[in-house]
Structure 1
Amino acid sequence: MENHIYYLFILALPVACIAWTVTKEEVFREAREFCVDRSKNEGRLVKRKFFYVFTCEYCFSHYVTLLLLFITNFKLIYTDWRGYIISFFAIVWIANIYMSLYNIIRIDLKKEKIRVAKEESELKEQ
């Protein structure tokens, strides 16, 4: 059982990484902008929701988790289908904690960068 908990925290890392990268990072900006436009302007509800998935890290992490569970056959607590369901929600939850922590760190780094730039400009003015 303790190995399963270890794997849970490890498997949540690639889910968080992939979900964050696709929904937030510059490398997928054009595709994300296309999806944002489609999620707002598409006529049919199903199509709008399909494109929205690629703009929300929480939503997208569910699909990444499904793929990961298919690849790894990871089950938590139970060895039957119930293990997949528990694993699915546990991985999504941990992955979203990782993404939230990463976002907090990024915000703190941006604040610090702005503060340093402001101090440097004030020193140059003197």
Structure 2
Amino acid sequence: MEAHIYHLFIMALPVACIAWTVTKEEIFKEAREFCVDRSKNCNKLIKRKFFYVFTCEYCFSHYVTLLLLFITNFTLLYPDWRGYIISFFSIVWIANVYMSLYNIIRIDLKKEKIKVAKEESELKND
């Protein structure tokens, strides 16, 4: 059981990394902007929801988790379908905690950079 908990926290890392990268980072900016546009302007609800998935890290983490569970056959608590359901929601939850923490760290780093730049600017002006 202890090993399963360890694996849960490890398996949530690639889910968080992939979900964050696809939905937030610059490398996928053009694709994400296309998906944002399509999620707002498609004429069918199903199409709008399909494209929205690629703009929301929480939503996208569900699909990344499904793929990961398919590849690894990871289960928690039970070796059957119940274990897949429990592991699915557990991985999604932990991955989203990781992404939230990462976002907080990034915001703090940006605030520090802005503060340092402002102080340097003030020193130059004095």
The aligned counterpart of 1:25 is: 25
The aligned counterpart of 1:44 is: 44
In structure 1, the gaps of 5 or more residues are none
Identity fraction in percent: 87
Structure 1 stretches of 4+ with a deviation exceeding 6 A read: none
Aligned counterparts, 1:1-126, within 5 A: 1-126=1-126
The Cα of 1:116 is off from its aligned counterpart by 0.1
RMSD over aligned CA atoms reads 0.2
The Cα of 1:101 is off from its aligned counterpart by 0.0
User: TM-score normalised to the size of structure 1?
Assistant: 1.00
In structure 2, the gaps of 5 or more residues are none
The Cα of 1:59 is off from its aligned counterpart by 0.0
The Cα of 1:37 is off from its aligned counterpart by 0.0
Listed one character per residue, the Cα deviations across residues 63-98 of structure 1 (whole Å, up to 9, x for unaligned) are 000000000000000001000000000000000000
Amino acid at match of 1:34: F
